[in-house]
């Protein structure tokens, strides 16, 4: 079956611009996660959705970052007034949302470059 | 101090060698443990879960020591295709289902 998909695969933008990154989870998965991975580092948690609601957004670095999942499926990560330090690979993962623990499947990521 | 610490490597080993990676975690409340594999410019993929009793999957063996907060991964008879970054991952019960990743250990298997 289809895995997690993310678009675009690459995004180059200028400092100060607004960007949106999209994630399509595996069909039927109720839980969705966003992570950010900088070069040479492991992924870092940003936000977790259970259905339509953000169950945990403690990883968002500041209020320039926002994510939505209005229908409980596709999610969009939004970054306002981008900064060079936002350059990273943004990974989305989904899981069935079963009782803890619950295997997460990752998408290929969006590589964001802020010039 | 990072929550999950790994030696970044790289570990350069010949084909057929046995190699071991270690990882320590700081939060004693961590409830579940995993090794993920990540190929260059690809997404992380689950390699195996790690249980207190230890578990084996083919050439791969994972061990967990809760008292020492230490996780290990042993790869026997290394293949060229094992070359990748291995990420140690923990999950806190009281943190939803978010994963906390180590920085990864890079393995290069040479012919």
CA distance B16 to chain A (A): 27
The whole-number pLDDT of residue B15 equals 98
Q: What confidence score (pLDDT) does residue B94 get? A: 52
Among candidates A41, A100, A108 on the partner chain, residue whose Cβ is nearest the Cβ of B43:
A108
From chain B, pick out residues whose CB is under 8 angstroms from the CB of A102.
Answer: 97
Pairing of strands A65-68, A75-79: antiparallel
Query: Between chains, do B95 and A31 touch, taking CB under 8 Å as contact?
Result: no
Q: Are B100 and B109 in contact (CB under 8 A)?
A: no
Contact status, residue A78 vs residue A65, Cβ threshold 8 Å: yes
Q: Cβ contacts of residue B41 below 8 Å, gap of 6+?
A: none
Confidence (pLDDT) at B38 = 97
* CA geometry: angle B80, A36, A88, nearest 5 deg: 80
In angstroms, the CA A54 to CA A71 distance is: 12
Handedness of CA B65, B68, B70, B73 (dihedral sign): negative
Report the residue from A40, A100, A103 with minimal CB separation from B46.
A103
The Cα of A107 is separated from the nearest Cα of chain B by a number of Å equal to 6
Nearest C-alpha in B relative to A31: B97
Nearest to B97 among A44, A48, A106 (CB): A48
pLDDT at A55: 87
Instruction: For chain B, list residues with pLDDT below 50.
Output: none
A44 interaction partners in chain B (CB closer than 8 Å): 101
Cα separation, B87 vs B6, whole angstroms: 8
Closest chain B C-alpha to A37 CA, distance in angstroms: 10
| Alpha-carbon gap, residue B56 to B4, rounded angstroms | 22
Tokens linked to A20: 């949106």
pLDDT at B92: 79
pLDDT < 70 regions, chain A: 1, 100-101
Interface test with A, best of B4, B98, B103 (most A CBs within 10 A): B98
- Strand-pairing partners, residue B85, are B38, B106
Q: What is the end-to-end Cα distance of chain A in Å, rounded?
A: 37
pLDDT at A101: 66
Question: What is the distance between the alpha carbons of residues A14 and A86, in angstroms, rounded to a whole number?
Answer: 11
Q: What is the pLDDT of residues B26-44, one digit of tens each?
A: 998 888 899 999 999 999 9
- Chain A residue closest in CA terms to B8: A40
Count the Cβ atoms, other than its own, within 10 Å of residue B109: 20
């Amino acid at each position: 079956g289809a895995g997690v998909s993310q678009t675009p695969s690459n995004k180059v933008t200028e400092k100060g611009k607004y960007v949106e990154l999209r994630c399509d989870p595996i069909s039927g998965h109720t839980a969705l996660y966003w992570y950010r991975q900088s070069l040479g580092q492991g992924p870092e948690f940003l936000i977790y959705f259970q259905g339509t609601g953000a169950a945990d957004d403690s990883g968002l670095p500041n209020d320039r970052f926002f994510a939505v999942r209005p229908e409980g499926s596709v999610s969009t990560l939004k970054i306002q007034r981008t900064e060079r330090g936002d350059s990273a690979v943004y990974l989305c993962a989904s899981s069935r949302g079963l009782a803890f623990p619950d295997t997460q499947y990752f998408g290929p990521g969006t590589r964001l470059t802020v010039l | 101090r990072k929550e999950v610490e790994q030696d970044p490597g790289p570990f350069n080993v010949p084909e057929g060698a046995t190699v071991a990676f270690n990882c320590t975690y700081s939060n004693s409340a961590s409830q579940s443990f995993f090794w993920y594999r990540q190929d260059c410019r690809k997404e992380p993929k689950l390699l195996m879960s790690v249980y207190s009793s230890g578990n084996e999957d083919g050439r791969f063996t994972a061990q967990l020591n809760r008292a020492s907060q230490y996780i290990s991964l042993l790869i026997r008879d290394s293949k060229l295709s094992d070359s990748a970054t291995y990420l140690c991952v923990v999950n806190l019960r009281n943190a939803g289902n978010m994963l906390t990743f180590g920085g990864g250990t890079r393995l290069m298997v040479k012919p």
